[in-house]
Structure 1
Amino acid sequence: MTETNTVRGTTVGRVALRVNDLDRTSSFYEQVVGLEPQSKGDQTAALGAGGVPLLELVEDADAPERTRDETGLFHTAFLVPSRRALADALVRLEDEWELTGASDHRVSEALYCRDPEGNGIELYRDRPREAWPIGDDGRVQMDTLPLDTNELRKEATETETVPSNTVVGHVHLEVSSIAAAREFYADALGMNVRQEYGPSALFLAADDYHHHVGCNVWNNRTKPADGRGLEWFELAVPNRETLETVRERFAAREISVTEIEDGIEITDSDEITVRLRAHD
């Protein structure tokens, strides 16, 4: 890490989705993903783990389906604390929904699915950091290898909810330009590039984590989203001093910063909304 990095200690906070059917979508995240319901209004719902909100749903019955050329969410990644918890998630997915993928990324083991409105989801557990492969350049070396779900399922206890210390580990975005995403998340925000695949994918973290934000152009999306899907995602920085430093960084680059109730809000090069708030 360089001395100019100001986001050490930053984590992913909440993710907000705009959905057509609030009841169906919130029930999915409760019953299949295993999040706990925290609050629900006429057009909003919050779910989380251990009393901490992780996901906010905003109902918009008229929001059009996301088109094939719109940028936005690739997946929200919920990080569970153990392989046993991942095995329990596998049971829920296979028994109550549809598993769309399972991968060994060398740093983690991951399961994939889509919610009722097509939003991508990853449920994963990290391997111990000392087991992560690190290259000579200091960057993490992730891969996508097959995961033996039959072996994983043997560890299941059929628990119906995620553990209380489950968090949103990372958010993976579909962007229109890796170069523009790098300029925003690395150069302006101050994240570290942890791995990149030429012009097609970029993985960034606030510290030496494998990634807090992923970006890819695999599906050739070219324009900002205008319908249902990702409403915003949140990064929680360590303190108000860091928040002010980030604010000044964006102002120096003439990137518009909007004040919100508990922090600031900015939009990246694809008009994806990022909220920042301080932990304290």
Structure 2
Amino acid sequence: MTLTAAILGGLLAWRDGYFNGLLWLACCLGLLFAHATNNLLNDYTDSRRGIDRDNYYRNQYGVHVLEDGLMSRAQFWRYFAVTAAIALALGLWLVSVRSGPTLALLLAGAFFVLFYTWPLKYIGLGEPSVLLVWGPLMVGGTYYVVTGSWSNEVALLSLVFALGPTTVLFGKHIDKLDADRDKGVRTLPVLLGERGARHATMVLLLAQYLLALGLVLGGLFSWPLLLVFASTPSLVRCLTLLRAPKPTARPAEYPAKIWPLWFSAACFRHTRRFTSLFLLAVVVTILL
């Protein structure tokens, strides 16, 4: 999803005739290494606080470098230093090339890398952070670094994309709502309650389509953006799933390799299809 955000910012810069391949590549790599750094810090923080211990939900659906014993603490910090140093070096180079708000964008990115896991995720601000980071910060920031100018239109368009990763995070936090609540992690779904969180996710999914339609009708983007409506069947399946609570046990027909992911898997499938059509719409616009 981070690569997609960088690609989107680059495509919009190309559309406007200001593409710079070197600056885009540096920005793209910087974002990827920053995201890697955040993932490592997320593992460390939740492991240190005891969140990921004793078969906590996190260990049931993915590899955890510390809890699974793949790295010692010393190895972990060396690995972390490498990813953080690369991200910071690329960011500082871009600041030297692009003045203006580039430094502010770098500092904002560093803030979310360092503080997303704690305290933002613990006080219901993780989900809004994802909407901001994968939208205006990543897409709008990439566009600015490549072109040298900020675009409110690009920042608004980026929200159509960023709502997708936000729904995936909502789905994941609903899937593990009970485990988070028991561990004292107050994600937004924990604060909203299971039913309220499912309804909020449905609103976010519908908002993607309404915002896309509004941008076309308002003349801020051309008609190819309506291609995203081809993902409506996936939307309907996702909304249908969100109308009922998650099953307490894996249904017989549900793939064992996906369980216990339920809402997050459905939201990810929809986001993958919606985002593919969204990028296609941008490419078609450029070609036209």
Q: TM-score, normalised by structure 2?
A: 0.29
Asked which structure has the greater RCO (Cα within 8 Å, sep 6+), the reply is 1
Which of the pair is proportionally richer in strand? 1
Q: TM-score, normalised by structure 1?
A: 0.29
